[in-house]
């Protein structure tokens, strides 16, 4: 694709961002020549889209409603986010798809326009061959995706309300865009007049039959694959029951009598498609009618910045909102057994609550699994919360299959994979291998996108360590390991985890829609891949490792990978070590019980510990409270209570 910016026409009303009306001359797009007889596409943006913006971290592409072909559709979102501290890092782009009646005679000779009612369905312009609204969005995206123009950009969000939502919701399904490493893409559609039902008997754009030129290039199977890898936030006001600009043709009426009814019916339709329902979130905005003020009823900060707002629960809408999430909970609970049946002393284990209380530990959930059965639990083991750096061990498990089949080459270097970062990587840093990344030995001390590992004030000088020679726990290594995984597999970490772990393990509390990569892309384009899990689901991951990767007869993780990843690459003077994102455990007081033991560690006391000598897994969750963390000493004193319970029961058996 190539383009030439022709002109800047006029400045809009003053807002937190300077926005101007601009023109794009698109001569080629998606390999097609665009014949528009000198016409250009109108859009609004903060600056020349084809120029450079070395500071932008977030981009929001907003598609207007039915009567918005002349104005800046991003104004509402700009105003809502005006006081956010990251506001100066946001680039807004608002393309215009006017109909002839919106333009005067002179404008119709130099502005690309579309037929009324056809641009919403993605049809080509009558005055620009091979140019549909979807092509325009593609063109905009690939400008943003250019690392030489937008080196710090980490997130692109396509938004639309009303007629614009018709465009965005279909574009999510049929677009062929591919983001560069480090960029996440999301979509949001509010109160469209109709939705795309995934039915090849219904005509486009109500279903998949007789698709427009752009959409016809993608087969049904590819469309389903597209949707599975993406995420669309759907929202609608509970009082959006009028007929303002409502499509009333028979195909639209078949979806419902009004927008709110169509929204609910679409939600039911998606919920019935088990393989795709986790790609959608549905939010009802209480007491809202058909108005762009609905944007204030969703967690816009979460959508744009990939971070939760102050008044929301992990980024989910709160307050007056009624959020109906199509989360996936497979729901297979643990079988239970008494401590005595497992060879432990129940009276000793009963001391655990008092230990937690006396130490003022932040323990919120504890589960001990022995022989594949729940032997002991404390607290709310079903509560879902942040597992901190335990995420890294989860990613290590996911690596196994793809290392074995050759998709991921541990010997490949950062440079060979084409990985770079904000400000550029040094030549020595580009020599780090994937193996170096997952063992925290890359020698790259570039700042990470999230807090953790080495505090920024104590980070080592870059270029001072040869890759593979020194263990330094730096989140940059682990985040780039996540980028490598997504780059090589072509899928989101969370989608793979959902399919290859959550489903076969029958996790009870896992929610795919609650997960997406996050972080400060001004520091690093390689964002963190945080996980939120319950204690009982964490225990299943530990049990899978204990069973050499086999669950219900299926080999989910190669056994040779478990052996390799939990063997020390780095050994520590006081005992223990570090493998491929797993900590190797030791205890001088109970060396035999710790033989072969390893753990996932997370801040404040999050743990998944595997003790093969006892056929035991311990999962521990702790509140994110700096005043009352579960320290390493606290955790190991708790583990030693478990060891004593085992030793005590063994002594009782000997006496008998």
Instruction: For 379, list phi and psi in degrees, rounded to 5.
Output: 75, -165
Q: Give the confidence band of 310 by pLDDT, cuts at 50, 70, 90.
A: very low
Q: Give the confidence band of 17 by pLDDT, cuts at 50, 70, 90.
A: very low
In this structure, the answer to whether residues 415 and 287 fall within a common structural domain is no
In this structure, the answer to whether residues 530 and 430 fall within a common structural domain is yes
pLDDT greater than 90 at residue 623: no
CATH of the domain at 208: 3.40.50.1820
d(CA 229, CA 490) in angstroms, rounded, equals 9
In this structure, the answer to whether residues 365 and 433 fall within a common structural domain is yes
Model pTM greater than 0.75?
Answer: no
Q: Give me the residue label for tokens 């455990």.
A: 585
In this structure, the answer to whether residues 469 and 559 fall within a common structural domain is yes
Residue 415 domain-assigned (yes or no): yes
Residue 520 domain-assigned (yes or no): yes
DSSP string of 421-460? -TT---TTGGG-BHHHHHTT-----PPPSSS-SS-GGGPP
Q: In angstroms, how far is CA 46 from the centroid of its own chain?
A: 27
Cβ atoms of 500 and 398 closer than 8 Å: yes
Average pLDDT (67-93) is 83
In this structure, the answer to whether residues 308 and 355 fall within a common structural domain is no
Domain total in the chain: 2
d(CA 7, CA 226) in angstroms, rounded, equals 35
Residue 116 domain-assigned (yes or no): no
In this structure, the answer to whether residues 379 and 295 fall within a common structural domain is no
pLDDT greater than 70 at residue 322: no
Q: Which two tokens stand for residue 17?
A: 């961002």
Residue 593 domain-assigned (yes or no): yes
**Residue predicted with more confidence, 280 or 325:** 280
How many secondary structure helices (H) and strands (E) does the chain include? 19, 23
pLDDT at residue 73 in the model: 83
Which of left, alpha, beta for 192 (phi over 0: left; psi -120 to 50: alpha)?
A: beta
pLDDT at residue 309 in the model: 43
In this structure, the answer to whether residues 300 and 384 fall within a common structural domain is no
pLDDT at residue 511 in the model: 87
In this structure, the answer to whether residues 258 and 360 fall within a common structural domain is no
In this structure, the answer to whether residues 373 and 279 fall within a common structural domain is no
Q: Give the confidence band of 113 by pLDDT, cuts at 50, 70, 90.
A: very high
pLDDT greater than 60 at residue 88: yes
Domain boundary among 264, 290, 325: 325
Over residues 395-428, the pLDDT tens digits come to: 999 999 999 999 999 999 999 999 999 999 999 9
pLDDT at residue 580 in the model: 98
pLDDT greater than 90 at residue 29: no
Count of residues for the chain?
656
pLDDT at residue 331 in the model: 53
In this structure, the answer to whether residues 353 and 302 fall within a common structural domain is no
Average pLDDT (321-329) is 35
In this structure, the answer to whether residues 592 and 463 fall within a common structural domain is yes
Q: Which two tokens stand for residue 85?
A: 């501290």
Cβ atoms of 185 and 279 closer than 8 Å: no
Least confident of 229-233, 252-256, 435-439, 511-515: 511-515
Over residues 162-177, the pLDDT tens digits come to: 999 999 999 999 998 9
Q: Which two tokens stand for residue 526?
A: 């390689």
**Residue 135: enclosing H or E segment and its boundaries?**
helix 133-144
Domain boundary among 276, 291, 325: 325
d(CA 148, CA 53) in angstroms, rounded, equals 9
Over residues 141-162, the pLDDT tens digits come to: 999 999 899 998 889 999 999 9
Determine the structural domain holding residue 246 and report its residue range: 49-90+130-325
Instruction: Give percent of the chain with pLDDT exceeding 90.
Output: 68
Average pLDDT value for the chain: 87
Longest dimension (CA), the chain: 102
In this structure, the answer to whether residues 467 and 600 fall within a common structural domain is yes
Residue 4 domain-assigned (yes or no): no
Give the residue among 72, 115, 116 at the shortest CA–CA distance from 96. 72
Cβ atoms of 131 and 140 closer than 8 Å: no
Q: Strand, helix or coil at 22?
A: strand
């Amino acid at each position: 694709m190539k383009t030439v910016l022709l002109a800047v026409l006029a400045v809009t009303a003053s807002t937190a961002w300077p926005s101007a009306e601009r023109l794009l001359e698109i001569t080629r797009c998606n390999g097609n020549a665009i014949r528009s007889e000198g016409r250009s596409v109108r859009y609004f943006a903060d600056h020349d889209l084809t120029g450079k913006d070395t500071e932008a971290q977030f981009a929001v592409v907003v598609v207007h409603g039915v009567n918005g072909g002349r104005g800046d559709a991003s104004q509402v979102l700009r105003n809502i986010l005006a006081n956010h501290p990251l506001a100066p890092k946001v680039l807004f782009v608002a393309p215009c798809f006017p109909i002839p009646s919106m333009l005067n005679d002179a404008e119709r000779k130099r502005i690309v326009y579309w037929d009324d009612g056809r641009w919403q369905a993605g049809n080509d312009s009558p005055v620009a061959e091979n140019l549909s609204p979807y092509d325009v969005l593609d063109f905009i995206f690939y400008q943003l995706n250019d690392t030489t123009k937008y080196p710090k950009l980490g997130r692109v969000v396509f938004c639309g309300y009303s007629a614009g939502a018709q465009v965005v919701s279909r574009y999510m399904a049929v677009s062929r865009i591919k983001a560069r490493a480090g960029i996440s893409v999301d979509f949001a559609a509010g109160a469209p007049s109709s939705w795309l039902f995934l039915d090849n008997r219904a005509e486009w754009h109500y279903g998949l039959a007789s698709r427009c030129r752009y959409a016809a290039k993608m087969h049904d199977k590819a469309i389903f694959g597209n949707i599975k890898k993406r995420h669309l936030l759907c929202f609608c006001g509970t009082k959006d029951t009028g007929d303002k600009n409502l499509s009333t043709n028979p195909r639209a009426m078949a979806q419902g009598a009004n927008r709110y009814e169509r929204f609910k019916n679409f939600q039911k339709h998606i919920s019935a498609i088990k393989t795709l329902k986790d790609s959608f979130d549905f939010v009802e905005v209480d007491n809202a009618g058909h108005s762009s003020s609905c944007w204030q009823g969703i967690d816009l900060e979460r959508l744009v910045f990939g971070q939760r707002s102050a008044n929301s629960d992990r980024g989910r809408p709160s307050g007056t909102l009624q959020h109906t999430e199509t989360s996936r909970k497979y729901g297979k609970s643990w079988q239970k057994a008494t401590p005595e049946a497992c060879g432990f002393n129940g009276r000793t284990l009963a001391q655990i609550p008092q230990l937690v209380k006396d130490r003022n530990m932040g323990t919120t959930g504890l589960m001990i699994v022995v022989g594949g059965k729940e032997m002991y639990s404390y607290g709310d083991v079903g509560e879902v919360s942040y597992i901190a750096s335990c995420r890294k061990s989860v990613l290590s498990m996911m690596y196994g299959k793809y290392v074995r089949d050759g998709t991921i080459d541990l010997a490949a270097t950062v440079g060979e994979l084409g990985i770079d970062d904000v400000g550029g990587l040094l030549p020595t840093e580009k020599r780090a291998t994937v193996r170096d990344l997952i063992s925290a030995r890359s020698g790259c001390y570039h700042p990470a996108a999230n807090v953790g590992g080495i505090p920024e004030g104590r980070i080592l000088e870059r270029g001072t360590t040869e890759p593979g020679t020194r263990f330094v726990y730096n989140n940059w290594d682990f985040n780039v390991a996540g980028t490598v995984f997504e780059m090589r597999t072509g899928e989101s970490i969370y989608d793979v985890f959902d399919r290859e772990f959550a489903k076969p393990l029958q996790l009870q509390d896992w929610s795919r829609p609650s997960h997406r990569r996050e972080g400060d892309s001004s520091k690093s384009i390689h964002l963190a891949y945080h996980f939120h899990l319950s204690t009982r689901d964490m225990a299943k991951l530990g049990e899978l490792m204990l069973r050499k990767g086999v669950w219900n007869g299926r080999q989910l993780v190669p056994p040779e990978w478990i052996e390799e990843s939990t063997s020390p690459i780095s050994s520590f003077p006081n005992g223990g070590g570090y493998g491929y994102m797993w900590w190797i455990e030791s205890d001088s007081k109970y060396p035999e019980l710790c033989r072969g033991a390893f753990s996932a560690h997370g801040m404040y006391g999050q743990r998944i510990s595997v003790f093969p000598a006892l056929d035991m897994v311990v999962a521990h969750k702790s509140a994110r409270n700096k005043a009352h963390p579960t320290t390493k000493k606290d955790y190991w004193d708790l583990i030693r209570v478990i060891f004593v319970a085992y030793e005590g029961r063994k002594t009782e058996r000997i006496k008998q």
